[in-house]
């Protein structure tokens, strides 16, 4: 996890502040949370694991809005693809494209081949194994200046995954011990091949 306190961020310019912070007369906001959703420039679909997270927080955002928090997702892919995938998943959150700027790179969730060759780190200690990685970053707006106050990555994101929290309290927990990798069971919610999943869509 990262807590930068009063550190300014160069990732947010004046033109993007209105996306990070609500200017609504009803619910203006001075703080913002951004989920770094893995969706690379050449990808045809969003990450299934990030989709699992998004299913959980999508309907919580209206409550955050009433506590001075704007929440959105950012991905490094063309906006048209984000809109199409969001429609497919029936999500309502705002999703912005960070393609063509340094936002993802500044927040250390996207990595070029050169940066990885130079030993770039993800989650402070782990070398990134690909171009895109998930994370959550928080920002505050004070006197016209945007401050980056917090970021977490990788397993630090599990704390706000509602499905995982419920599974952790179930008799068998996540029941992932026999899987090749723990999250191998996760699918996009329209890709589970059974009637239970279809009935919930």
CATH assignment at residue 93: 3.40.30.10
In a domain, 185, yes or no: no
State the DSSP code for 178: T
In a domain, 201, yes or no: no
> Do residues 50 and 91 touch, judged by C-beta distance below 8 A?
no
**Number of separate domains in the chain:** 1
In a domain, 138, yes or no: yes
Q: Tens digits of per-residue pLDDT, 154-165?
A: 999 999 999 999
Q: Tens digits of per-residue pLDDT, 29-83?
A: 889 999 999 999 999 999 999 999 999 999 999 999 999 999 999 999 999 999 9
Q: Which domain holds residue 53?
A: 14-157
In a domain, 88, yes or no: yes
SS3 142: strand
> Cα–Cα distances in Å, from 156 out to 44, 75, 134, 143, 166?
27, 19, 10, 30, 17
In sequence order, what are the beta bridge partners of 122? 126
Instruction: Record the pTM.
Output: 0.86
In a domain, 27, yes or no: yes
In a domain, 168, yes or no: no
Angle (nearest 5°) at CA 185 between 180 and 188: 135
In a domain, 85, yes or no: yes
> Do residues 21 and 70 touch, judged by C-beta distance below 8 A?
yes
In a domain, 68, yes or no: yes
């Amino acid at each position: 996890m990262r807590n930068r306190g009063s550190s300014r961020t160069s990732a947010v310019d004046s033109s993007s502040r209105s996306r990070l912070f609500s200017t609504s007369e009803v619910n203006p906001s001075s703080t913002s949370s951004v989920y770094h959703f893995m969706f690379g420039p050449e990808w045809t679909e969003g990450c299934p694991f990030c989709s699992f997270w998004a299913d959980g927080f999508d309907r919580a955002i209206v409550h955050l809005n009433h506590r001075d928090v704007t929440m959105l997702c950012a991905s490094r892919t063309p906006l048209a693809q984000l809109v199409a995938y969001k429609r497919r998943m029936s999500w309502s959150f705002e999703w912005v494209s960070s393609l063509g700027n340094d936002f993802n790179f500044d927040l250390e969730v996207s990595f070029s081949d050169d940066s990885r060759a130079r030993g770039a780190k993800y989650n402070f200690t782990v070398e990134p194994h690909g171009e895109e990685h998930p994370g959550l970053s928080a920002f505050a707006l004070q006197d016209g200046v945007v401050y980056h106050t917090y970021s977490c990555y990788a397993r630090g994101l599990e704390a706000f995954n509602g499905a995982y929290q419920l599974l952790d309290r179930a008799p068998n927990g996540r029941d992932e011990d026999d899987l090749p990798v723990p999250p191998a069971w996760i699918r996009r919610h329209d890709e589970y091949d059974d009637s239970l999943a279809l009935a919930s869509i």
